[in-house]
Amino acid sequence: MDILNALVAITNYILIPATAYGSQLALGALGVTLIYGILRFSNFAHGDTMAFGTAITIMVTWGLQAMGVSFGPLPTALLALPVGIAATAVLVLATDKLVYSYYRRVRAAPVVIVMVSVGVMFMMNALTRFLIGVDDINFADGARFVITAREFRDMTGLAEPLPIRSSQIITIVMAALIVAALFWFLNRTRTGKSMRAFSDNEDLALLSGINPSRVVAVTWIIAAALATTAGVLYGLDKSFKAFNYFHLLLPIFASAILGGLGNPLGAIAGGFVIAFSEIGVTYAWKKVAGYLLPAFEPDGLLQLLSTEYKFAVSFVILIAVLLFKPTGLFKGKSV
């Protein structure tokens, strides 16, 4: 029984939250890595693209709720998601046309385009705040729990609860579906293959008749879809606050770089490594130890690092990986 309690505690406080957070990071990192692989620059505006897409989705959700539309036990925001993606795709395509296409034409150095993306970031930042404000917004509706803490306790008789939130399940399932669809698209379809070719060798791809503007447009649309979905899933799981999405940029970039920039598989792995290390290393093992070794009564919390240092954990891993494997865990482009 005690072993079960220990397992349940680990699942409740480490496995489930880290998997959900990891999925959100992975989706964000996928967008960053795709842009890097194909357009060859680190898009600092990605966090705010997520915020913009989520803001539009929230507004459509409000509209749907006002009309009395609901999605049963699932959050209404999932119905509004396609509209959010479409609006975000229009925004990023317009940005590309107005801003990035010029720098591509003059063949600006990547670092110049990165700085341009910082400018775009501030614009999008402001745009999102104009649209929806700076407040904390909770837009999750539908059933909040698949199983609540009390239900689990009553059902199993264990001391430790294992509640499962619907937003966590939705996040994990959606992330798995989207990743599968993305890999199918990149590996099996003609457009996906041309994108990979463009990423591997631009000149060769152009010579073999691939239309660059089409590749660029498709990349932006996919990035918009990934950003909006990641943003909405994150917002459903936590809450929407424009400022938090700006902060999310840091762990997302850490994930993408850790996995190997430009490598989609690496982005996913990076997301999970960051999430698990942030939560696992700072976990206080006192409770679990109490179940497994009842005779052993520690005074301390058996915590490796205080939670203030959780960001340091992911950056230490990042530095170590870049020192010994500059292209990231999976073979990406070197930074």
**Is residue 192 packed enough to be buried (19+ CB in 10 Å), middle (13-18) or exposed (0-12)?**
middle
Identify which of residues 144 and 214 has a Cβ nearer to another protein in the complex.
144
Size of the site for another protein (CB under 8 A): 45
Nearest CB to another protein, comparing residues 12 and 70: 12
Q: C-beta of 149: minimal distance to another protein in Å? A: 3
Does residue 239 interact with another protein by CB under 8 A? yes
**What does the alpha-carbon distance between residue 233 and residue 24 come to, in Å, rounded to a whole number?**
7
Q: How far is the CB of 26 from another protein (least distance, A)?
A: 14
Structure tokens of 86? 């479409």
Stretch in the footprint of another protein (CB under 8 A) among 92-100, 281-289, 316-324, 327-335: 281-289
How far is Cα 4 from Cα 161, in angstroms, rounded to an integer?
11
C-alpha pair distances (Å), 254 with each of 9, 118, 245, 272, 317: 28, 17, 15, 11, 9
C-alpha distances (whole Å) from 17 to each of 147, 162, 168, 308 are 15, 11, 8, 18
Is residue 247 involved in binding another protein (CB under 8 A)? yes
| Residue with smaller CB distance to another protein, 210 or 279 | 279
Total number of residues shown for the chain: 335
Strand partners, 74: 71
46 binds another protein (CB under 8 A): no
Question: Closest approach of Cβ 328 to another protein, in Å?
Answer: 21
Residue 130 contacts residue 51 (beta carbons within 8 Å): no
What is the C-alpha separation between 121 and 222, in angstroms, rounded? 18
Measured from the CB of residue 178, what is the shortest distance to another protein in angstroms?
Answer: 20
Which listed range, 51-59, 225-233, 258-266, 274-282, lies at the site for another protein (CB under 8 A)?
Answer: 274-282
| CB of residue 136 to another protein, shortest distance in Å | 6
* Shorter beta-carbon distance to another protein: residue 9 or 85: 9
Which of 212, 244, 292, 322 is in the footprint of another protein by CB under 8 A?
Answer: 244
Taking CB under 8 A as the criterion, the residue among 243, 298, 326, 334 binding another protein is: 243
Among 233, 288, 321, 329, contact with another protein (rule: CB under 8 A): 288
Stretch that binds another protein, among 37-45, 59-67, 93-101, 284-292 (CB under 8 A): 284-292
130 half-sphere exposure, CB direction, 13 A CA radius: 6
Among 5, 6, 21, 291, binds another protein (CB under 8 A): 21
In 3D space, the residue among 312, 262, 301 whose CA is nearest the CA of residue 34 turns out to be 262
Query: CB within 8 A of 200, min separation 6: which ones?
Result: none
Range 105-164, binding another protein (CB under 8 A): 135-136, 138, 144-145, 148-150, 152-153, 161, 163
Q: How far apart are CA 294 and CA 303, in angstroms?
A: 18
Contact criterion met (CB below 8 Å) for 133 and 51:
no
Interaction between residue 238 and another protein (CB under 8 A): yes
Q: How far apart are CA 21 and CA 159, in angstroms?
A: 26
In the list 40, 129, 310, 325, the residue contacting another protein (rule: CB under 8 A) is 310
* Identity of the residue, 136 or 200, whose beta carbon is nearer to another protein in the bound complex: 136
Report the SS3 class of residue 256.
Answer: helix
Q: Which ranges of 96-139 does DSSP label H, i.e. alpha helix?
A: 101-105, 110-132
In whole angstroms, what is the distance from residue 266 CA to residue 130 CA?
Answer: 35
Confirm or reject binding of residue 279 to another protein (CB under 8 A): yes
Binding site for another protein (CB under 8 A): 9, 12-14, 17-18, 21, 135-136, 138, 144-145, 148-150, 152-153, 161, 163, 165, 234, 238-239, 241, 243-244, 247-248, 251, 275, 278-279, 282-288, 301, 303, 306-308, 310
